Every structure is written in C-alpha cells, then in structure tokens.
Amino acid sequence: MFLEPRIGDESRGWIEVIAGPMFSGKTEELLRRLRRAKIANVRMAIFKPQIDVRYGQNRIVSHDANYFPSLEVGHAADIRKHTKNAELVAIDETQFFDNEIIEVCEELALKGVRVICTGLDMDYLGKPFGPMPEVLAIANYITKIHAICVQCGYPATHSFRKLKNKERVMLGELESYEARCRKCFAEGMAAQEKFT
C-alpha cells in the first residue's frame, strides 16, 4: 500500500510505480492519484508515449473512459524539457519508453519531484517488458494491481494476446487481449503453440 511521505519531507522526491496486466486498472489508479494532487494544487506534468494512440491525443485515458490531459512524447529524454516547475510527474504506459526513462525518473526524484509511472510489467509472452524491471527496481513504492481472469475468475497477472501477431508491441484492447491468471495464460500459450 502506498504511504504518503512524512511531514517535513516535501523537498524529497520519490518514484511510485503502478504495475500489472492489461485491464487491471493501472491508469484508473493513476488518475485517482492525479485527482487528489489536483485538489491539493500540486503542479503536475503528465506524459504518455507517442506510440499510444488508442484513445486519441494529448490525454491519458482509462478503459472506463476517464481521462486527464497529457503531453505525448517520442523519447524519454523529451520529458526533461517539460518538467521545469512540476512537483509531480506522471508517466503512463512506461513500458513503451526507451531505457533512458530510468535515468529521467532518477533525476526528477533527486530534484524533489514525486514521479508516478504506470505500465505493463510483462509482455504478451509473460516476459519482463521494456524498461519496467529497472523502473520497478528503483521505485520507492510499488502497487501491483491484478485484473480478473476471463477464463476462471481468479486474479489475473498476465495479458494474453488472442491474435497470432508476434510483434512485441501491438496496441489493442478487448479484441486483441484478455487478462488471464498464470495457469490459464500457460494453457492458452500451449494451445497457441500446438496450432502453429
């Protein structure tokens, strides 16, 4: 569970990570934290990767259609240009950024900024995704969120790709992916291999 910093720690920055599979509510949890920060008049800078065009431009959007304005950036280094007065920096879909995102997060935290990153911790093969393992390693606080397995109803930790596309990055929603528990994910992967 995320703990708020102690009184007197306002000048200390930190890194929070919200991780889990697709359809687990990662962006919704980010939006909840941003709404609370907005009430407190915290100066925010919110970013998403340029590659993520599923819900349109210049906003992060949850699967429930809740959103916050954001800035699209092509590379992690671009974030530095837009965080001058920010007290909180939010980065959605962190797995799609290049590895420089790790350095950017560290720099911001050392400057006293609260950094919140969301992302898939595993790709469609169940392997660590992009820079997420390193971002998780440097985080002060980690919130691991689970979805519900569509096969059995147990907590889902994996994003199962229903299509036979072997590209590591393939944007999609319910037509392309479903949340699965470890067992149902393994069974689905075995079935796909059997028929290829």
What single-letter amino acid sits at 128? P
Architecture per CATH, domain 14-145, reads as 3-Layer(aba) Sandwich (3.40)
> 93 catalytic, yes or no?
yes
41: buried, middle or exposed (CB in 10 Å: 19+, 13-18, 0-12)?
A: exposed
The model's pTM: 0.85
Strand extents, DSSP E, the chain: 14-20, 44-49, 59-61, 67-69, 71-73, 88-91, 114-120, 141-144, 147-148, 155-156, 158-161, 177-180
How do the domains of the chain map onto residue ranges? Answer: 14-145
Q: What is the pLDDT along the chain (196 residues), one digit of tens a residue?
A: 455 554 445 568 999 999 999 999 998 999 999 999 999 999 999 999 998 655 555 555 555 556 778 899 999 999 999 999 999 999 999 999 999 999 999 999 999 999 999 999 999 999 999 999 999 999 999 999 999 999 999 999 999 998 876 776 666 666 788 999 999 999 999 998 876 5
From the list 4, 16, 28, 93, the catalytic residue is 93
